[in-house]
Amino acid sequence: MKMKNVWPNGLVSAFVSLLMISAGAFAQQVVPPAPIQVSSLPGTSTVIVNASPGDQTDPHVDKDVAAYTDLNDLRTHYYNFSTLLDMPVAPAASVSDTLSDVSGNRICFTRQTPAGDFETAIFDISTSTTTEIDPHPGDLRLGCAIGGDSLVFIDFSTGSGTGDMFVYDLAANPPTQPQPLSLSPTPEENPNVSPDGDTVVWQNCPTPSNCDIWKAVRSSGLWTTSIVANTSFNEQNPDTDGSWIAYDTDRGAATGLDIYFLPVVGGQTTQLLIPGSQVNPSVRQGFIGFESTVPPATNPEIYVYDIARNLLYQVTSTGGFAEQLNDLTVLDNGDVRVVWAVNDGQLHDLNIDATTFTPLHPTMYNICPLYDQNVAKKAGSAYPIKIQLCDASGNNLSSPSISVHATSVTRVSTNTPATLDDTGNANPDFDFRYDATISGYVFNLSTRGCATGTYDLNFTAGSDPTQHSALFAVK
């Protein structure tokens, strides 16, 4: 996933001429409501991954596994959230393993050998085996990232020696040599890979204080490289989930460093505008984790932003400690898991913490019925279900442009699905019909085959993720 701030870069002046700004400079702004405290959400769990003496840092997470560097023993460690076990990668004699990333059961890391070479290696958790990838004497490879079967790293022993992006296919049989994604004369840094392995992002730095964001996208086995953001300002710390690209930059805003994001396929760039300085985005399934220092505080806390719902979550609130180097993943049940390093050790050394929480899925619409739900219709007759989409105050939000689609009928008393049926052509494809005379919607429901009882007609409304229902009775 991501390696954070291995090569720190300065900031350019906010007064650089706008005439010098090129691709990716102009962005729309989004201001989320006040942050939701994750600690207040039901089911939230926080664990200490490692709080042993010395520094543990650079954590990464994918589903149930976190990987990080323990500077006390110069080993890459991994933690399983299901078993609560913390283990070092199988050690080798006289080597150090640092700067890791994780995808599924595979962990990549940088291995410094006794000869002084820096190789990229893969540890397979399921087999407890380590494999160095295409090693050569004199290799200087740093900054690995892994997603699916794609392994990327920066090679400093090729080309100009400033660092070039390479990708290796872990599924290739027989194995092939790593292939260059970019052979730029300027330094390339901080690679990250989407979970499916088909999108890679990194920063290209013409000067130490002016990095740009690049991407490579694989289609039909071929990689295409292009620029994501190329301005006179400093863009850095990119990440991608295959749908979104996020990075941080200071383009002269009053709030300083901010998170910017845009679709992988291209389109409008959005600036997340909140107080303070935001850095180091991690993005998965439309959730962006980052560190934010909100004045008057001087230490960063961990936040998560939900792009689709414009919701902001505050994960930590420790005040006196600095949370940093976050990474996140989305579990199969939709829960969000975040890991980070925090300097809360006895000697202010770094430890690894993690929190898992269930994000809110607020309803966009309330349902205002325009019929008496207590009146039962005779089985076999048509039951006109008339509704409006309303806000929390009951104001009508219905519109011909918002589609309402019936999905199922459920008997309330037994929760047994009944047959969904309309009455002829009044509601084609089980869509509600917008009726301007009532400024709402009508669905002519057929009660044929319904036994006596009370039922829910279930339906969706526009882009609202909530399934709604309307009550009706049959006699």
The domain segmentation of the chain, as residue ranges, is: 28-357, 366-474
Q: Burial level of 265, CB count in 10 A (0-12/13-18/19+)?
A: exposed
Q: Report d(CA 445, CA 457) in Å as an integer.
A: 9
**At residue 9, does pLDDT exceed 90?**
no
Query: How is residue 1 written in tokens?
Result: 């996933």
Backbone dihedral angles phi then psi of residue 292, each to the nearest 5 degrees: -135, 130
Q: How many CA atoms lie within 13 A of 340 on its CB side?
A: 28
Backbone dihedral angles phi then psi of residue 39, each to the nearest 5 degrees: -65, -20
Q: Read off the DSSP letter of residue 108.
A: E
Identify the three-state secondary structure at position 429: helix
Q: Per-residue pLDDT tens for 27-81?
A: 789 999 999 999 999 999 999 999 999 999 999 999 999 999 999 999 999 999 9
The residue among 231, 154, 227 whose CA lies nearest residue 192 is 154
**At residue 433, does pLDDT exceed 60?**
yes
pTM of the model: 0.76
Could you give the dihedral angle defined by the CA atoms of residues 180, 181, 183 and 187, in that order, rounded to the nearest 10 degrees?
-120
Q: Report d(CA 251, CA 46) in Å as an integer.
A: 35
Q: Report d(CA 303, CA 142) in Å as an integer.
A: 28
Q: Which residue has the higher pLDDT, 365 or 192?
A: 192
CATH number of 366-474: 2.60.40.10
Q: Per-residue pLDDT tens for 237-294?
A: 999 999 999 999 998 777 789 999 999 999 899 999 999 999 999 999 999 999 999 9
Q: Report d(CA 245, CA 286) in Å as an integer.
A: 10
CATH 2.120.10.30 fits 28-357, yes or no: yes
What is the pLDDT, as a whole number, of residue 373? 87
